[in-house]
């Protein structure tokens, strides 16, 4: 059984507190929050004050995904805002800064690492022991509602095997085009992020259908 993390980018922002409580009541395990800076990805979303506000009303943990350049500058602020899981991109800074950021996150929350679809997943090998979670993007990061990239499934398989071989216990999360049709490719994942699929239907039914 998978853990489900509805992506609030697909929610009705005019009624955000109501939406958050509704998906929590419908059985969501985490709330996935995408933070974009308009530089690392070509879109702008929300910042620290909104994460703080969401934390105040969310009955479930916040799974915060930073799609920003130089995330090391903002780690403390997002941890202070209430991130329970804080995920940064492999491509967003130097390898040394990424290592330092993961270590800092892990001292106060769950550390997450992700990569863009075009990045070779084997680049993550030395960083896996620092991760509580690894997020596989099955769409190009930046916008919701994109089609699932089936060629990314091999990254999930590689991570699953590395976890076994290295005797690690990080969780594998998948984000992008997750729905009833693509769920069949995701048996080796632990957490599934879904946005429009959940928020455009009956929340409880949609969550259960991909669990």
Q: Give me 195's structure tokens.
A: 């946005």
How far is 41 from 111, CA to CA, in rounded Å? 21
Count Cβ atoms below 10 Å from residue 44 Cβ, excluding itself.
12
Catalytic residues: 34, 175
Given the DSSP bridges, would you call strands 171-175 and 133-137 parallel, antiparallel or unpaired?
parallel
Select from 64, 66, 61 the least CA-distant residue to 30. 61
Q: Angle at which helices 16-25 and 48-57 pack, to 10 degrees?
A: 50
Q: Give me 198's structure tokens.
A: 């959940």
Return the residue matching tokens 């202070």: 80
- Cα first-last separation, the chain: 6
């Amino acid at each position: 059984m998978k853990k489900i993390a509805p992506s609030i980018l697909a929610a009705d922002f005019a009624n955000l507190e109501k939406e958050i409580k509704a998906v929590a009541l419908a059985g969501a395990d985490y709330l996935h929050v995408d933070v974009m800076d308009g530089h690392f990805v070509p879109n702008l979303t929300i910042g620290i004050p909104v994460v703080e506000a969401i934390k105040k009303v969310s009955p479930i943990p916040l799974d915060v995904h930073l799609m920003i350049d130089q995330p090391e500058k903002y780690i403390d602020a997002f941890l202070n805002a209430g991130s329970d899981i804080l995920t940064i991109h492999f491509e967003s800074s130097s390898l040394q800064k990424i290592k330092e950021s993961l270590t800092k996150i892990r001292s106060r929350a769950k550390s997450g690492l992700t990569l863009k679809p075009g990045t070779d997943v084997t680049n993550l090998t030395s960083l896996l022991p620092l991760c509580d979670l690894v997020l596989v993007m099955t769409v190009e990061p930046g916008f919701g509602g994109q089609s699932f990239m089936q060629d990314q499934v091999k990254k999930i398989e590689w991570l699953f095997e590395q976890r076994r071989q290295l005797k690690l216990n990080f969780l594998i999360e998948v984000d992008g085009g997750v729905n009833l049709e693509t769920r069949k490719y995701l048996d080796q994942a632990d957490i599934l992020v879904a946005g429009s699929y959940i928020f455009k239907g009956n929340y409880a039914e949609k969550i259960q259908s991909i669990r």
